[in-house]
Amino acid sequence: MNFSDRGLQLTRTCRALKLWISLHHFGVAAFRTAIDNCLDLAEYAQGQIEAAPELELMTPASLGIVTFRRHPAGVDDDALLDQMNAGIADAIQHQGDVFLSTGRVRGRLVLRLCILN
């Protein structure tokens, strides 16, 4: 039994109630606006990545997620690029303002920006 899935009384939580209350209080339009805003921010980030000469877009914005990596001109060693991008992710996470995860796309380590509301 995983106790994190249960409430204080060790019964299952009513997850649907949280959604219903939020929809009832804020309305569907507020959720639609929040989701649209996240998608717009991901597309904006994609544009900024494409405009930056040292950044390489790995996958276009899709459902609020964009993957990219730093790829300076003249650096073609995949191991070095992976190490460089892993260091970037660690440095950003240690700042504590943004959580930027890593992943792999076509065998290459990428920075994964996931915009959530």
Q: Is residue 60 within 8 Å of residue 66, measured between CB atoms?
A: yes
Alpha carbon 78 to its chain's center: 23
Helices (H), the chain: 15-26, 28-51, 78-95
What's the one-letter identity of residue 11? Answer: T
The domains of the chain, with CATH numbers, are 13-114 (3.90.1150.170)
> pTM of the predicted model, to two decimals?
0.78
pLDDT digits (tens, 9 = 90+) for 50-99: 999 999 999 999 999 999 999 999 999 999 999 999 999 999 999 988 88
| CB neighbourhood size of 82 (10 A) | 17
Predicted confidence at residue 98, as pLDDT, reads 84
Please give the order of strands across the beta sheet that includes 55-62.
55-62, 65-70, 108-114, 101-105
